[in-house]
Amino acid sequence: MIFDTSLILKILENKEFFDKLNISEEVKITSVTAYELLRGAVYSNLVNGKNRELNIILSLVSELNVISFSLEDARIASYIWAKLKEKGIVINDADILIASTCIRNKEKLLTLDKDYEKIKSVYEKIDLEIIDKI
């Protein structure tokens, strides 16, 4: 099971949220999520001069299984992007990259981000769970 960036940020904000998810399988993230988390923490460190957030993120990504973005993911992502563009739908590239990694690895994607519904509308093979209430 792969957690997207929105879900990881929610868990970091509220540790009890993870317990409410009642997850029994291994939690994974994509290299794209690792990038999104790290870029925010590094920026915060540069601007505020505090290491706390960066250290938390570095610790987190070192403990999780991080699935790398591959050439096959790029192929899938390009197809999804083109199908969305054809429908006049624009969403964050990171979401498309995360979705394509989940698709290739046949992993369920858990998220808080409803933009993934748009991806599912053009690529039904994605195993997706959007959490709206817990």
pLDDT for 133? 67
Residue 47 CA to its chain's centroid (Å): 25
Q: What is the pLDDT of residues 111-128, one digit of tens each?
A: 999 999 999 999 999 999
Whether residue 77 contacts residue 97, with contact meaning beta carbons closer than 8 Å, is answered with yes
Give the C-alpha separation, 26 to 107, whole Å. 11
Domain count across the chain: 1
Q: Can you give the CATH number for the domain in which 58 is found? A: 3.40.50.1010
Which residue range forms the structural domain that includes residue 14? 2-130
Q: Cβ atoms within 10 A of the Cβ of 6, count?
A: 21
| pTM of full prediction above 0.85 | yes
Q: What is the pLDDT of residues 58-104, one digit of tens each?
A: 999 999 999 999 999 999 999 999 999 999 999 999 999 999 999 99
